[in-house]
Structure 1
Amino acid sequence: MPSTQWQKSSYCADSSNCLNVAAFPDHTVRIRESAAPHAEVTTTRPQLGLLIAAVKGDTLAPDA
């Protein structure tokens, strides 16, 4: 089994506390924080795109 190819966020620079993203053949995407690499969130590319758009557009609603 090939090793996972994690990509570090371009906003991370030289920090050791970064977001990492990896794409998988089953069309899922996994996200983890470098400070806690054992904890991963799995999503799809379309859902990740929606999350990124919401963050960039500052349209995330706080918990009610």
Structure 2
Amino acid sequence: MKVQVGDVVVNAEVDSSAELSIFSDRVYQAIKCPPPKLRDVKLLTAGRKLSMQGSVVGPVKVKIGN
């Protein structure tokens, strides 16, 4: 599904009941005026010892569909 994140249009899976949205660093860097980074976080997976570094940013304008 096409989703507009800031001024960037991407293909994305949408979970309308999710408490947060995860976008790649490439999408963040492509936004002309990116939102401020509020803090750094470590994202953990369930059931495995995998993690990745990320940032909480905001506010972010997101448009889903038309």
- After TM superposition, the score normalised by the length of structure 1 is 0.23
Structure number with higher strand proportion: 2
Higher-RCO chain (CA-CA 8 Å, sequence separation at least 6): 2
- After TM superposition, the score normalised by the length of structure 2 is 0.23
